[in-house]
A = this chain, B = another copy of it.
Amino acid sequence: MGETDGTSPVHEPSLDEQIAVYQREFQDLDPQVEKVVSALSRLNRRMNVAYGRQTAALGISNAEWEVLKALVISGAPYRMGPSELAKQLGLTPAAMTHRIDRMTAEGLVTRERDESNRVRVIVELTDEGRSKWLDAMRAATVFEEDLLQDLSTAERGVLGDMLTRLLDRVEDLQARG
Identify the A interface with B (CB < 8 A).
2-3, 10, 12-13, 15, 18, 21-22, 24-26, 28-30, 32-37, 39-47, 49-50, 72-75, 83-84, 87-88, 90, 117, 119-120, 134, 137, 141, 143-151, 153, 155-160, 162-167, 169-171, 173-174
Contacts and interface: CB of A to CB of B under 8 A. Distances in A.
- Copy number in the complex reads 2
A87 B39 contact: no
A160 B21 contact: no
A84 B2 CA distance: 13
Contact of A50 (B120, B153, B174): B174
A144 B33 contact: yes
A171 B46 contact: yes
21 contacts: A21-B72, A21-B75, A26-B134, A29-B141, A32-B157, A32-B160, A35-B160, A35-B164, A36-B163, A39-B163, A39-B164, A39-B166, A40-B40, A41-B47, A43-B170, A45-B90, A50-B174, A149-B169, A150-B166, A158-B162, A159-B159
